């Protein structure tokens, strides 16, 4: 996704719409090992050329395939990202993370798109298919909070019969 500044100068004062599909699956897999695959990224938006900067209004749409945090099944995670990025020709004009340096007389939006996609990947996703989720294993099982409260109440009432005689120990008065 590169544009020549000379090519864009003829559109100064106008918005230039663009739409393209790009494949960044390998980049995402390399930089985030949770990404199993990704769809083509539909990149659309407008480019506005100004006196000393170029403003790109980006919209990114697509899906990631990520592992479910419980079952490790594939989960399709859709995304819709909107961002406004500014490209400038002088280092002192870079004000924040939305300002980027032009590469000579070219504008390369691909690194910015890749960064936006990496930031959009969630830390955990959960599958809607909970039937396959493990609910018990060797010496453990999943219980609800209500079941946990009931177990705690039952354990409070139970006294180990070996220690039952000690329960009255402090109640006895010394003679």
**135 inside domain:** no
- pLDDT for the residue numbered 133: 58
- pLDDT for the residue numbered 173: 61
Q: State the residue range of the domain holding 91.
A: 2-120
- pLDDT for the residue numbered 100: 81
**166 inside domain:** no
**74 inside domain:** yes
**154 inside domain:** no
Total count of domains within the chain: 1
**50 inside domain:** yes
**27 inside domain:** yes
- pLDDT for the residue numbered 86: 87
- What's the CA gap between 51 and 100, in Å, rounded? 16
Q: What are the pLDDT tens digits along the chain (175 aa)?
A: 888 888 888 878 788 899 999 999 999 999 999 999 999 999 999 998 888 888 899 999 999 999 998 888 899 999 999 999 888 887 766 677 777 877 778 888 899 999 999 999 999 998 887 655 566 777 888 788 998 898 888 877 766 777 777 767 776 665 4
**94 inside domain:** yes
- pLDDT for the residue numbered 93: 67
């Amino acid at each position: 996704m590169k544009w020549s500044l000379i090519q864009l100068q003829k559109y100064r004062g106008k918005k230039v719409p663009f739409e393209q599909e790009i494949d960044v699956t390998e980049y995402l897999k390399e930089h985030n090992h949770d990404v199993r695959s990704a769809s083509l990224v539909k990149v659309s938006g407008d480019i506005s050329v100004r006196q000393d900067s170029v403003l790109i209004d980006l919209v990114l749409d697509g899906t990631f395939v990520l592992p479910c945090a419980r079952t490790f099944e594939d989960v399709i995670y859709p995304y819709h990202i909107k961002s406004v990025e500014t490209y400038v020709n002088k280092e002192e004009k870079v004000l924040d993370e939305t300002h980027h340096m032009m590469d000579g007389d070219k504008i390369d939006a691909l690194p910015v798109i890749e960064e936006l996609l990496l930031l959009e990947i969630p830390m955990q996703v959960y599958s809607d298919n909970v039937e396959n989720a493990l609910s018990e294993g060797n010496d453990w099982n999943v219980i609800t909070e209500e079941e946990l409260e009931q177990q705690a109440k039952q354990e409070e009432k139970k006294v180990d019969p070996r220690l039952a005689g000690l329960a009255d120990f402090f109640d006895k008065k010394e003679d």
